[in-house]
């Protein structure tokens, strides 16, 4: 039983044009009801002598967001819009796409909102495409560990050429209507793609074309078809950078077959590879993340209606974080005042903002006009009085409790009672920071990740007194500036850094026991991280941790020894590695130093296997995740996964630490933790939370 067809595809005929308007759910996901209704409406339009052309329309928000992801649950080889048993009356998406392409009368797609995945594949099978100016078009399947499965890998190159097609398919990024027009993905951009004039023009264009089916358009691929290997060469660098190397490889194979062999052979390879990816654990992991990210937007107790409008914002601190946060706010059109204590620090911070913008202009990721508009929204000040009329202030000052308390007290005195106050602290207690303010209820944490203008994660820290308005405003602002907010509770390091600390301690311990930085880093990179812990440490600088440890009276013997030798990381040209510029190489001096520290600590060094290194790095942090869940610091396992994928580059195709634990088996993780606890005598490694009973 599905929704009545006429409710999800509205049909009206005027002046010989049948308008088929999809309105299924919020984003026109192409589930079985919509596919069935669309196929039936097309059949009727084909048979109706009064109909000379068809106009396919969606909703303002979405033409269509693609295949219905919720139909992908099964791991059967033949699933989800790709032809399921028991769905005899609903065509699979490929059949629907073919029905459009082979339709006996011109079909025009009028694209409003998003046309993604199967939605764009449907539009590409139409004989002409008109997009609204704000439309976004893309094939994001790779972000779900998939490849386009309804002809996208063979049709897109025929419209935009192999180079642009590979870039869209391998990054999964969508393009604007203007870019789509420039590249040939759409034929026209019109304020109202359903307007009679736009449609008449599109029909005329179709009738003027010798071959109107996308499958017959060979001109854009002719060159690559004549020179086998071109697709592989064009894909080269992008293949290496793809977030899901397995899906990327599969997509390139399908694109190559569609160009170098034939359209039909391309479809065959695409179908085979799509099914293979759909059944893969890498895709299951990324579909889990898609759902987890959306679930994380609905934390318990969040009332989105309680969010206050943020018309202006303040940032305290013009360091790397403050500047990045200011840029992130300004890029969403929010005017920001950056307050610093010293003129020199303020100037340095604003110069850095200018430099970052200049880099993005030179890389082509931002136009000069955009950069100038963004910059004009950022103002510097040395006076808290200048944030007296803002709706939200984010403090990003030095990580020192006294400093932060002082800033909050000063802010509390000048801002109006409904202004929300946030701290970007990465470790400190929001409750203690809020303690000196009159209105603790308006204080929360907004923990950004460096570089804040780039990294997508924000941990939204709910303090004991944080009220509904502060929480909702924090979450809404993070989303408005394009970040992924995850609500967490108060503890040292919150979710991400608390788990990272556990991993760092293990990494240090592995060096003492016999490993070298190069081996440890390689093991994590083989797992899929972009960087290992020691490369990361060298990039961030080792001296801050060293100073903090000295203040706290704790030690990390290897890292301390490096710092004592003046090796602070990349900035001093030496850390765990030696550097020529940013390129690190292994350094015999580091090995000598590590061996010496092991000796001083009375540890007999031994060979450690890659498998042990991986487990020793990952399982204790997973265990910390289990504690975090048990304490209610994170609401769901999926929240922790989202934090690690978005904030710490955990490979998305491995689903996040807790998903991974489920994948290797909770029983196995628990057993290995017990083993390592016994081996090292470290009782903190004993399984905790849900792992304790596994
Ligand atoms: C594909 O097409 C395969 C084909 O090549 C081949 C097949 C053979 N299905 O994100 P939002 C839900 S693969 C089902 O909160 P926004 C979403 O879960 C697909 N549901 O809003 C949410 O539900 P809830 C390729 C979907 O404005 C609600 O819609 N397509 C789908 O921030 C609102 O979504 C993609 O990967 C879907 N396809 O963003 C596109 N899409 O309210 C995936 C959304 O219960 N979608 N939902 O939590 C997106 O990128 C964003 O959702 C979109 C809207 C940009 C559309």
Question: Which tens digit of pLDDT belongs to each residue from 139-153?
Answer: 999 999 999 999 999
Average pLDDT over residues 398-418: 93
Confidence (pLDDT) at 544: 85
- The residue whose C-alpha atom lies closest to atom 15 belonging to ligand 1 is 294
Q: Under DSSP, is residue 382 helix (H, G, I), strand (E, B) or coil? A: coil
Q: How many CB atoms lie within 10 A of CB 165?
A: 30
pLDDT tens digits for range 219-251: 999 999 999 999 999 999 888 889 899 999 999
Residue 368 has phi, psi (to 5 degrees) of -60, -40
In ligand 1, the atom with minimum distance to the C-alpha of 136 is: 55
Half-sphere exposure of 340 (CA within 13 A, CB side): 19
Q: Under DSSP, is residue 172 helix (H, G, I), strand (E, B) or coil? A: coil
Q: pLDDT class for 577, splitting at 50, 70, 90?
A: very high
pLDDT tens digits for range 469-506: 999 999 999 999 999 999 999 999 999 999 999 999 99
Q: Best substitution site from 65, 112, 176 to test ligand 1's pocket, by max atoms within 8 Å of Cβ?
A: 65
Task: Answer whether residue 513 shows pLDDT above 60.
Answer: yes
Cα 283 to Cα 262: distance, rounded to the nearest angstrom:
27
Cα 170 to Cα 139: distance, rounded to the nearest angstrom:
9
Task: Answer whether residue 79 shows pLDDT above 90.
Answer: no
CA gyration radius, the chain: 28
E strand residue ranges, 442-532:
443-448, 457-461, 484-488
pTM reported for the whole predicted model: 0.94
Asked whether 32 and 89 are in contact (CB, 8 A), the reply is: no
Residue 340 has phi, psi (to 5 degrees) of -130, 160
Q: Best substitution site from 23, 29, 66, 118 to test ligand 1's pocket, by max atoms within 8 Å of Cβ?
A: 66
pLDDT tens digits for range 179-222: 999 999 999 999 999 999 999 999 998 888 777 899 999 999 99
E strand residue ranges, 15-146:
17-22, 53-57, 62-64, 107-111, 114-116, 128-131, 136-138
| Pairing mode of beta strands 128-131, 107-111 | parallel
Q: pLDDT class for 2, splitting at 50, 70, 90?
A: low
- The residue whose C-alpha atom lies closest to atom 36 belonging to ligand 1 is 140
Which active-site residues does the annotation give? Answer: 121, 141
**Among candidates 68, 50, 53, which has minimal Cα distance to 20?**
53
CA of 7 to the centre of ligand 1 (A): 20
Token pair of 688, please? 């905790």
Cα 223 to Cα 481: distance, rounded to the nearest angstrom:
42
DSSP string over 542-572: SHHHHHHHHHHT---HHHHHHHHTT--BGGG
Token pair of 474, please? 């924090």
Cα 588 to Cα 577: distance, rounded to the nearest angstrom:
9
CA of 410 to the centre of ligand 1 (A): 44
CA of 525 to the centre of ligand 1 (A): 30
Token pair of 685, please? 């490694």
Average pLDDT over residues 595-622: 97
Confidence (pLDDT) at 533: 96
Asked whether 251 and 169 are in contact (CB, 8 A), the reply is: yes
Task: Answer whether residue 76 shows pLDDT above 50.
Answer: no
Q: pLDDT class for 542, splitting at 50, 70, 90?
A: very high
User: b vs e for 84-122, b when ≥16 Cβ sit within 10 Å of the residue's Cβ?
Assistant: beeeeebbbbbebbbbbbebebbbbbbbbbbbbbbbbbb
In ligand 1, the atom with minimum distance to the C-alpha of 82 is: 8
Asked whether 207 and 105 are in contact (CB, 8 A), the reply is: no
DSSP state letter for 110: E
Mean pLDDT of the chain: 94
Asked whether 404 and 428 are in contact (CB, 8 A), the reply is: yes
Confidence (pLDDT) at 86: 43
Looking at per-residue confidence, does 436 or 174 come out higher?
A: 174
Alpha-carbon 558 to chain mean position: 34
In ligand 1, the atom with minimum distance to the C-alpha of 172 is: 36
Confidence (pLDDT) at 405: 94
Asked whether 613 and 519 are in contact (CB, 8 A), the reply is: yes
pLDDT tens digits for range 20-39: 999 999 999 999 999 999 99
Cα 464 to Cα 269: distance, rounded to the nearest angstrom:
55
Q: pLDDT class for 291, splitting at 50, 70, 90?
A: very high
Confidence (pLDDT) at 207: 87
Average pLDDT over residues 293-302: 94
CA of 81 to the centre of ligand 1 (A): 14
pLDDT tens digits for range 263-281: 999 999 999 999 999 999 9
In ligand 1, the atom with minimum distance to the C-alpha of 66 is: 2
SS (H, E, C) 305-340: HHCCCCCCEEEECCCHHHHHHHHHHHHCCCCEEEEC
Asked whether 184 and 146 are in contact (CB, 8 A), the reply is: no
Cα 447 to Cα 467: distance, rounded to the nearest angstrom:
18
- The residue whose C-alpha atom lies closest to atom 12 belonging to ligand 1 is 27
CA of 64 to the centre of ligand 1 (A): 9
Confidence (pLDDT) at 261: 97
Q: Under DSSP, is residue 367 helix (H, G, I), strand (E, B) or coil? A: coil
Confidence (pLDDT) at 212: 84
CA of 694 to the centre of ligand 1 (A): 35
Confidence (pLDDT) at 501: 94
DSSP string over 296-307: HTS-TT--GGGP
- The residue whose C-alpha atom lies closest to atom 45 belonging to ligand 1 is 294
CA of 570 to the centre of ligand 1 (A): 41
pLDDT tens digits for range 308-319: 999 999 999 999
Ligand 1 pocket (Cβ < 6 Å) reads 26-27, 29, 62, 65-70, 81-82, 93, 114, 116-118, 121, 140-141, 144, 146, 148-150, 152, 294
Q: pLDDT class for 415, splitting at 50, 70, 90?
A: very high
3-state helix, strand and coil shares in percent for the chain, rounded to the nearest 5: 55, 10, 35
Confidence (pLDDT) at 1: 47
Confidence (pLDDT) at 85: 45
Q: pLDDT class for 297, splitting at 50, 70, 90?
A: very high
Task: Answer whether residue 114 shows pLDDT above 80.
Answer: yes
Q: pLDDT class for 75, splitting at 50, 70, 90?
A: very low
Q: How many CB atoms lie within 10 A of CB 451?
A: 15
**Among candidates 489, 502, 435, which has minimal Cα distance to 462?**
489
> Which residue's entry shows tokens 């046309």?
115
Phi-psi region of 333 (alpha: psi -120 to 50; beta: other; left: phi over 0): left
In ligand 1, the atom with minimum distance to the C-alpha of 294 is: 48
Q: pLDDT class for 436, splitting at 50, 70, 90?
A: confident
């Amino acid at each position: 039983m599905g929704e009545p067809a006429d409710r999800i595809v509205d049909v009206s005929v005027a002046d010989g044009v049948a308008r088929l308007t999809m309105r299924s759910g919020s984003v026109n996901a192409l589930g079985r009801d919509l596919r069935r209704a669309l196929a039936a409406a097309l059949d009727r339009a084909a048979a109706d002598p009064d109909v000379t052309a068809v106009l396919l329309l969606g909703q303002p928000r979405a033409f269509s967001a693609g295949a219905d992801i919720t139909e992908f649950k099964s791991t059967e080889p033949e699933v989800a819009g790709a032809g399921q048993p028991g769905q005899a009356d609903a065509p699979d998406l490929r059949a629907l796409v073919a029905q459009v392409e082979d339709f006996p009368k011109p079909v025009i797609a009028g694209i409003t909102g998003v046309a993604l995945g199967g939605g764009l594949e449907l539009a590409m099978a139409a004989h002409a495409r008109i997009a609204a100016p704000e439309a976004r078009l893309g094939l994001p399947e790779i972000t779900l560990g998939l490849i386009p499965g309804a002809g996208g890998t063979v049709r897109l190159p025929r419209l935009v050429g192999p180079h642009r097609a590979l870039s869209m398919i391998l990054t999964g990024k969508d393009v604007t209507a203007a870019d789509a027009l420039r590249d040939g993905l759409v034929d026209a951009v019109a304020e109202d793609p359903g307007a009679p004039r736009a449609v008449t023009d599109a029909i005329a264009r179709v009738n003027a074309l010798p071959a109107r089916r996308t499958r017959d358009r060979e001109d854009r691929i002719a060159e690559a078809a004549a020179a086998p290997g071109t697709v592989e060469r064009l894909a080269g660098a992008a293949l290496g950078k793809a977030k899901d190397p397995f899906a990327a490889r599969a997509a390139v194979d399908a694109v190559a077959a569609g160009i170098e062999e034939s359209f039909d052979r391309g479809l065959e390879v695409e179908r085979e590879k799509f099914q293979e990816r759909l059944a893969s654990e890498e895709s299951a992991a990324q579909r889990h993340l898609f759902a987890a990210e959306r679930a994380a937007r609905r934390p318990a107790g969040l009332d989105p209606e309680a969010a206050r409008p943020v018309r202006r914002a303040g940032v305290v601190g013009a360091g790397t974080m403050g500047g990045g946060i200011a840029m992130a706010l300004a890029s969403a059109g929010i005017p920001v005042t950056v307050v610093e204590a010293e003129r020199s620090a303020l100037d340095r911070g604003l110069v850095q903002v200018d430099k970052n913008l200049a880099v993005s202009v030179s890389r082509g990721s931002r136009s000069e006009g955009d950069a100038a508009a963004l910059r004009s929204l950022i103002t510097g000040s040395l006076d808290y009085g200048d944030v007296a009329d803002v709706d939200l202030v984010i403090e990003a000052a030095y990580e020192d409790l006294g400093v932060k308390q002082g800033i909050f007290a000063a802010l509390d005195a000048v801002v109006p009672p409904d202004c929300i106050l946030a701290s970007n602290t990465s470790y400190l207690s929001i409750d203690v920071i809020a303690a000196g303010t009159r209105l603790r209820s308006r204080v929360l944490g907004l923990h950004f990740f460096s570089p804040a203008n780039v990294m997508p994660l924000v941990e939204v820290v709910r303090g004991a007194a944080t009220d509904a308005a502060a929480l909702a405003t924090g979450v809404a602002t993070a989303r408005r500036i394009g970040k992924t907010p995850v609500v967490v509770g108060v503890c040292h390091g919150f979710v991400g850094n608390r788990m990272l600390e556990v991993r760092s301690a293990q990494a240090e311990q592995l060096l003492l026991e016999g490993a070298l930085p190069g081996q440890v880093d390689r093991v994590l990179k083989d797992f899929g991280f972009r960087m290992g812990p020691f490369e990361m440490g060298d990039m961030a600088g080792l001296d801050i941790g060293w100073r903090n440890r000295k203040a706290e009276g704790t030690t990390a013997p290897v890292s301390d020894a490096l710092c004592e030798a003046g090796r602070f990381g990349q900035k001093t040209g030496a850390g765990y590695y030696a550097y020529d510029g940013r390129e690190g190489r292994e350094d015999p001096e580091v090995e000598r130093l590590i061996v010496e520290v092991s000796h001083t600590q009375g540890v007999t060094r031994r060979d450690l296997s890659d498998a042990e290194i991986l487990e020793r790095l990952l399982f204790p942090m997973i265990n910390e995740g289990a504690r975090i869940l048990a304490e209610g610091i994170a609401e769901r396992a999926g929240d922790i996964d989202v934090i690690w994928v978005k904030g710490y580059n955990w490979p998305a195709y491995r689903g996040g630490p807790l998903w991974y634990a489920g994948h290797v088996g909770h029983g196995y993780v628990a057993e290995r933790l017990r083993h390592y606890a016994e081996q090292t005598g470290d009782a903190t490694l004993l399984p905790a939370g849900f792992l304790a009973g596994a």
